[in-house]
Structure 1
């Protein structure tokens, strides 16, 4: 597996250390030392990068703003946010603007490598499943409940035949996982395993952040289909229809 990574990091010692570990994996990286440079580099080479590691605390433009601008350019490029901040609010904020994972400094380089591999594997599986040659006719859906239709090949979600827009890969996979088994309660650990993979080392609150953003997008078409089961996790249930 060969990857080209955009490393957004203003600490030269961290960038040098990670560059050595990336080289051992056969990966290459470009380094941006501030937020403005990061966005410019991504715009110029948008099709070249397989993944972005993004420091939250950056000169000129912070990691939150960079993540927003990157997501506006590409809804699918994987982003792993790195930061010395360790508060739950900061982590949820980072995940909420489009980051796929969150790593607090100081971190283990080997753990970061493992997360990158797991995230990239997941993206490759999704790309293969959504290849145009595998697409079904528009009348066919993998999930077809009372109000919701989901096509995994097209990465498409409809609620009462209205398209749910701007769903990220992780949000789609969360909804798809739960919608396949309506009213079954999934723990956060089960959703982490199903959506992020066995090798995912993240916190369970990652699920909460993605569920929150997914709900916001579903609510725009009137869908109230994800319910919180307090003390356990979440379930999909669209039998009650709209809010």
Structure 2
């Protein structure tokens, strides 16, 4: 069965160009012109991947709002922003919402198809990776409990409010306590194509703050200066 891609784009001509290109690449395609239509449609029939413009009709940040809505419905849905907005602020905002990629217009249709295909390969590798599937129901390390089925993390019995990327980063460090996760490792773990060291540092800073809201003495994520981070069970 063909994988389904949802396109949310308010410009009719662009929307149809995307549809034609992706259908020629073998994907089933649903299209929506605005956030409301897209949310209703995807609640009824969740796609395998969503492509969102940011400015949707009269909503300047409609795509960002839709991304938040979709994350609540499906934490693991691959989402691509495809937009004319090319500032670093917009890129960072999109990736902080756990988009898997941020692409700017105009875009070669062949490149879009190749990028979607590469993201689906990541989805398949995650499903088949024994490192992520073994003992998938839960993993307990002292006061840390990770439930991969619900993609939730508890610290000292209290659940943290995490984005999907934050969950992935914590899980990757905690699975091998004491082992350093380099910046390069962590960039790959985010499943995002536009990631810098400062972006990783920002993720870790927010993760630490969320742990400290529960436990002010939390010190289990250790910085290895110039290299990356590790989970220290004796922190």
Q: TM-score, normalising length from structure 1?
A: 0.74
User: Do the aligned partners of 2:97 and 2:163 also contact (CA within 8 Å) in 1?
Assistant: no
* Equivalent-residue separation in structure 1 for 2:178 and 2:136 (angstroms): 27
- Tell me the equivalent position of 1:191: 186
* Equivalent-residue separation in structure 2 for 1:188 and 1:111 (angstroms): 27
Equivalent residues in 2 for 1:39-188 (5 A)? 39-43=39-43, 45=44, 47-61=45-59, 62-126=62-126, 141=139, 144=141, 146-152=142-148, 155-168=151-164, 170-188=165-183
CA drift of 1:79 comes to 1.2
User: Do the aligned partners of 1:115 and 1:201 also contact (CA within 8 Å) in 2?
Assistant: no
Greater relative contact order (Cα 8 A, min sep 6): structure 1 or 2?
1
The C-alpha deviation readout for 1:197-216, integer Å capped at 9, x for no partner, is xxx64333664565455445
The C-alpha deviation readout for 1:95-146, integer Å capped at 9, x for no partner, is 223323222223343333333233333334555679xx976776xx2x62x4
* Equivalent-residue separation in structure 2 for 1:218 and 1:126 (angstroms): 26
CA drift of 1:195 comes to 5.0
> Measured at CA, do residues 108 and 148 of structure 1 come closer, stay the same or move farther in structure 2, by a change above 3 Å?
farther
- Tell me the equivalent position of 2:7: 7
* Equivalent-residue separation in structure 2 for 1:114 and 1:216 (angstroms): 37
What SS class does the counterpart of residue 182 from structure 1 fall into? coil
User: Do the aligned partners of 1:95 and 1:209 also contact (CA within 8 Å) in 2?
Assistant: no
Unaligned runs of at least 5 residues, structure 1: none
Q: TM-score, normalising length from structure 2?
A: 0.76
The aligned length equals 228
> Measured at CA, do residues 54 and 184 of structure 1 come closer, stay the same or move farther in structure 2, by a change above 3 Å?
same
User: Do the aligned partners of 1:5 and 1:52 also contact (CA within 8 Å) in 2?
Assistant: yes
* Equivalent-residue separation in structure 2 for 1:171 and 1:239 (angstroms): 21
> Measured at CA, do residues 154 and 34 of structure 1 come closer, stay the same or move farther in structure 2, by a change above 3 Å?
closer
CA drift of 1:39 comes to 2.1
* Equivalent-residue separation in structure 1 for 2:82 and 2:213 (angstroms): 31
Unaligned runs of at least 5 residues, structure 2: none
CA drift of 1:56 comes to 1.2
> Measured at CA, do residues 115 and 237 of structure 1 come closer, stay the same or move farther in structure 2, by a change above 3 Å?
farther
- Tell me the equivalent position of 1:234: 229
CA drift of 1:54 comes to 0.5
User: Do the aligned partners of 1:8 and 1:31 also contact (CA within 8 Å) in 2?
Assistant: yes
1:203 and 2:198 matched: no
What SS class does the counterpart of residue 214 from structure 2 fall into? coil
- Tell me the equivalent position of 2:36: 36
